[in-house]
Amino acid sequence: MFTLTLCCILLVEIYLTSAQVIFGGGCPKVDVFQNFDATQYIGKWYEYERFFFVTEYNDRCVSANYTLKDNGHVKVFNQGVNKDTGAISTSIGDAFAPNASEAAKLKVQFAGGPLGNYWVLDTDYKTYTVVWSCVEPPIHLAHAEVTWILSRDRSGISEYRKMEIYNLLKKYNIDTSKFQKVNQKNCII
């Protein structure tokens, strides 16, 4: 009974702190994008597909705008429109690479909340990017994961590019069946 209770507590803790999809075992091992250049990455990106993410679960027209700050960090400005009410939501965060030799392994923080992972797995800077986050408790019984495919164009990416991205993610044992397409139609923002 103690083991079951401990597992339940851990799963609830992961869910509440990360608001992501929960899987058994530890985080998959992935390679991040090499020679990541934040100056090429800045600008506006539109969510094309994403895993369930509680802070965005009811949003459409979701976008992220990244700008460089004087201190070398990146200002994150996220927007979305609530599907039910039409209300526009915004959140502002700060992203930075703690280790310059792994520039694609960013940390991001919103409104004084916990630091989260923002790892760029792949990008061409001009049309698409693949972002992944995973957290696990020290005992590795489960992990919480979220993945985003972002596009520079609100209309998304080609089917060919999508299949390339899915193949990359499958190589890392990231479950592409968890993706949900983000509605980017009739957007007012």
Output the pLDDT for position 20.
58
pLDDT of 7-51, one tens digit each? 333 333 444 344 456 767 788 899 999 999 999 999 999 999 999
The average pLDDT across 58-79 equals 97
What pTM was computed for the model? Answer: 0.86
* pLDDT of residue 156 exceeding 60: yes
43 three-state secondary structure: strand
Output the pLDDT for position 24.
73
Output the pLDDT for position 140.
65
The average pLDDT across 126-136 equals 94
Residue 149 corresponds to which tokens in the numbers above? 């495919």
* pLDDT of residue 74 exceeding 80: yes
Count of all residues that appear for the chain in the document: 189
- Percent of the chain scoring above 90 in pLDDT: 74
18 within 8 A of 144, measured Cβ to Cβ: yes
Residue 77 corresponds to which tokens in the numbers above? 């400005």
> What is the torsion angle, in degrees rounded to the nearest 10, for the CA atoms of residue 70, residue 109, residue 126 and residue 38?
40
- Domain borders along the chain are 2-181
- Chain centre to alpha carbon of residue 8: 25
CATH 3.10.20.740 fits 2-181, yes or no: no
Confidence band, pLDDT 50/70/90 cuts, at residue 135: confident
From 152, 143, 150, 180, select the one nearest 165 (Cα to Cα).
Answer: 150
Distance from C-alpha of 164 to C-alpha of 50, rounded to nearest angstrom:
16
**H helix intervals, the chain:** 2-18, 38-41, 159-171
From 53, 62, 47, 48, select the one nearest 22 (Cα to Cα).
Answer: 53
